[in-house]
Amino acid sequence: MTNTASNVPGRFVIGGELEVARIGFGAMRITGRGIWGEPTDRAEALRTLRELPDLGVNFVDTADSYGPGISEMLIREALAPYRHDLVIATKGGLARTGPDQWKPLGRPEYLIQQVHQSLRLLGVEQIALWQLHRIDPAVPRDEQFGTVQYLLDSGLIRYAGLSEVSLDDIEAASKYFSVATVQNRYNLADRSSEAVLNFCARHGIGFIPWYPLAAGALTEGGSILSRIAQRHNAKPSQIALAWLLRRSPVMLPIPGTARVAHLRENVAAARIELSDAEFDALSQASEV
């Protein structure tokens, strides 16, 4: 296993053109309970979104299934007209039938319909980065990848990515389009996508770790994570983000929240510089 440490967080260029700050914002939590309906505190969710430009965050990750549609609508309400450097990524391929219910749906006509809906809800003429939220096992994989190619060729989306995929999926999709990003679950406690991350690093593909703040038993008092957090006068979640940023230069964490204070904490993690010893200790602890 490769455990390469990058330098200071800096920025990353998606697809060779879209330059983003490496800590982005995940817009799933600005919806209601079960990622369904309006948020409990709509005003605070909007304030959180409007804080992004002031904090230098110019990469927002959402999906048509968040709400459904609520997240995209709130992004437009809070941030339109959009700054020229703001990159809004959205996803399609999961149908919603109720709170906490997610069903892969990758039929070509559905994916195309959802892209048009996202364009309308976000209020844009082209989606900068669109990601296939899941590969639907009930639809031939190549049909779904061919649809993504159509979306690119038609100009509806500028770049395309994949979510929750294997190395084989990425290589198969690459026969149809250039994969700009991969969004897999990855954090200190769950590194099952290590091989995918290393592949992305070798090929300059942005790696978007979802659920980036999870750290499992490492959050317990007296753990190496808590000790390092105390040393930096930071929270364990901030150290978990700092570790992700240093883990690979293609890493693009998107911690989500619906509170301004929590957003500021997450962004501040980019200023934490872990020593080589701290990085190695966290890496080894997460493998246990």
Residue 118 lies in a domain: yes
Residues 6+ apart with CB under 8 A from 153: none
Domain that holds residue 120: 11-215+239-271
The full DSSP string for 235-250 is: -HHHHHHHHHHHH-TT
**In this model, does residue 7 exceed pLDDT 90?**
no
Average pLDDT value for residue range 120-130: 98
Say if CB 235 and CB 265 are below 8 A apart. yes
pLDDT of residue 89: 98
pLDDT digits (tens, 9 = 90+) for 215-243: 565 666 678 899 999 999 999 999 999 99
Residue 279 lies in a domain: no
Residue 107 lies in a domain: yes
Residue 182 identity (one-letter amino acid): V
pLDDT of residue 119: 98
> pLDDT exceeding 70 applies to what percent of the chain?
93
Residue 284 lies in a domain: no
Residue 94 identity (one-letter amino acid): L
DSSP 29: T
Neighbours of 220 (CB within 10 A): 11
Instruction: Enumerate the active-site residues.
Output: 66
pLDDT of residue 223: 85
Residue 102 lies in a domain: yes
Residue 3 lies in a domain: no
Residue 146's SS3 state is helix
Question: Count of domains in the chain?
Answer: 1
Mean pLDDT over the full length of the chain? 93
Residue 67 identity (one-letter amino acid): G
pLDDT of residue 80: 98
pLDDT of residue 52: 97
DSSP 67: B
Average pLDDT value for residue range 103-114: 98
pLDDT digits (tens, 9 = 90+) for 14-23: 999 999 999 9
pLDDT of residue 4: 41
**In this model, does residue 117 exceed pLDDT 80?**
yes
**In this model, does residue 2 exceed pLDDT 60?**
no
pLDDT digits (tens, 9 = 90+) for 80-102: 999 999 999 999 999 999 999 99
Q: Is 15 left (phi over 0), alpha (psi -120 to 50) or beta?
A: left
Residue 113 lies in a domain: yes
Residue 266's SS3 state is helix
Residue 286 lies in a domain: no
Q: Looking at residue 207, which CATH number applies to its domain?
A: 3.20.20.100
**In this model, does residue 49 exceed pLDDT 70?**
yes
Average pLDDT value for residue range 109-114: 98
